[in-house]
Amino acid sequence: MDPDPGPAETPPRAVVLVGFMAAGKSRVGRALAETLGWRFVDLDAEIEREAGRTIPEIFAEEGEPRFRALEAEAGGRLLAAPDRLVLATGGGWGAAEGRLRDLPKGILSVWLRVHPEVAVERALRQAPGRPLLDRHDDPVAAARALLREREGCYAEAALHIDTNEKDPDEVVRDILERMHGADPLSAPHT
């Protein structure tokens, strides 16, 4: 169930988007940051830039645990200085136990919800590059199982937004509406 905590007491200084693969975190994040006039960072792109390799290459050459370590490190560093930042994370970041619960005050977490069937359909339309789906003969079954494992962690986000039948602009509008009480457009610099 959506916990909807209502308007935050103080405007958020940063928004972190979490959720399953192909939920639209990057596209929504970029558009949200543009609307707010905030900085946008895509965590996967940041990891790739720093490692000088693509995510499938990191998975293939060093394994998933190494990718998770890079992901945790880059996410922690970005959220240590979160002013006026929209961070789109990869699907595994918000699925780490306690990560959303322990976010510093002022960082609004948003779970972009997507059904596994919709996620796989969207992912197949996009370029390959998701090792956790690409290696399965039945990606829908794999997505269902992975989402079931992760849902409890994603659900700790402060806002839950359904993306299934929406385009990214509608999702951005939903987020802004839900943030409205926090007056995000007048969020201070410091």
Long-range pairs for 75-79: beta carbons < 8 A, 24 or more residues apart: 75/43, 78/41, 78/43, 78/46, 79/14, 79/16, 79/103, 79/104, 79/107
Query: Shortest distance, CB of residue 88 to ligand S3P, whole angstroms?
Result: 7
Give the range of 1-9, 97-105, 127-135, 167-175 binding ligand S3P by CB under 6 A: 127-135
The residues, ordered by sequence, that sit 6+ positions from 123 with a Cβ below 8 Å of its Cβ are 21, 22, 130, 133, 139
Residue among 24, 38, 44, 115 that touches ligand S3P (CB under 6 A): 44
Residue among 29, 91, 94, 139 that touches ligand S3P (CB under 6 A): 91
Q: Is residue 92 close enough to count as binding ligand S3P by CB under 6 A?
A: yes
Query: Shortest distance, CB of residue 94 to ligand S3P, whole angstroms?
Result: 9
**How would you class 33 by CB atoms within 10 Å of its CB: exposed for 0-12, middle for 13-18, buried for 19 or more?**
buried
Give the range of 33-41, 85-93, 156-164, 172-180 binding ligand S3P by CB under 6 A: 85-93
Q: Site residues for ligand S3P, window 47-66 (CB under 6 A)?
A: 55
Q: Which of 56, 51, 50, 43 lies closest to 129 in space, CA to CA?
A: 56
**Site residues (vs ligand S3P, CB under 6 A):** 21-22, 25, 44, 55, 90-92, 130-132
